[in-house]
Chains A and B, each alone.
Chain A
Amino acid sequence: SQQGEEDPQALSIQEGENATMNCSYKTSINNLQWYRQNSGRGLVHLILIRSNEREKHSGRLRVTLDTSKKSSSLLITASRAADTASYFCATGVRGSGTYKYIFGTGTRLKVLA
């Protein structure tokens, strides 16, 4: 069963505006990652935040993690048309001797020029 749920499912903003996407998950995690997917392509890693971190920055990206609420948010500041893509959160979950990544349902972001 998919662990992550993201909202909104779709988001349309003007270039220069900020975009915020949220991710909720169900079980304990080791880390949470955000990925980007252009239409019909593979996913590209954006940023990883560990379970003992609360906030992380990378360029125009800001990620927060609240383990008590089992939620994370991705903020893209000063968005550009090239940011148009789908964004997914993924949680790293350790099982009995194994480790896997569970993805959310994604947010489709459209940035209008």
Chain B
Amino acid sequence: DGGITQSPKYLFRKEGQNVTLSCEQNLNHDAMYWYRQDPGQGLRLIYYSQIVNDFQKGDIAEGYSVSREKKESFPLTVTSAQKNPTAFYLCASSIASGGAGELFFGEGSRLTVL
């Protein structure tokens, strides 16, 4: 079935460690997005990519990094520079070329810093 797969679903990290969250889609979508959601809050945009080998910073990119080497994959690295990384991370994709399409979301990855 077509969709977006995020892994791992739960992740625990010690302070000072980098962790990478995986996001894979088989929808043949050009655009992919990473959002952060804190408890009881809305979604905040971290990074987005409209095409392979290109990506843009969102509203809260500090302490995060991404790559887009393949159309299907958009991994997010939470670095030790991110001061408060405990959150629910959501990956999404959409058909680009002008936007105006709906976002398809993965089931999320919950990161907890110990």
A positions within 8 Å CB-CB of B:
1-2, 4, 6, 30-31, 33, 35, 40-45, 48, 50, 88, 90, 92, 94-95, 97-106, 108
Q: Which residues of B contact A4 (CB under 8 A)?
A: 42
CB nearest neighbor in B for A99: B99
Contact status A42-B107, CB under 8 Å: yes
Contact status B100-A30, CB under 8 Å: yes
Contact status A101-B50, CB under 8 Å: no
Q: Which of A6, A92, A105 contacts B99 (CB 8 A)?
A: A92
Contact status A98-B35, CB under 8 Å: no
Q: Which residues of A contact B98 (CB under 8 A)?
A: 99
A-B pairs with beta carbons under 8 Å apart, 23 shown:
A30-B100, A31-B99, A40-B88, A40-B110, A41-B108, A42-B4, A42-B92, A42-B105, A42-B106, A48-B100, A88-B42, A90-B103, A92-B99, A94-B99, A99-B96, A99-B98, A100-B33, A100-B58, A101-B45, A103-B42, A103-B45, A105-B41, A105-B42
Contact status A35-B103, CB under 8 Å: yes
Q: Which residues of B contact A108 (CB under 8 A)?
A: 40
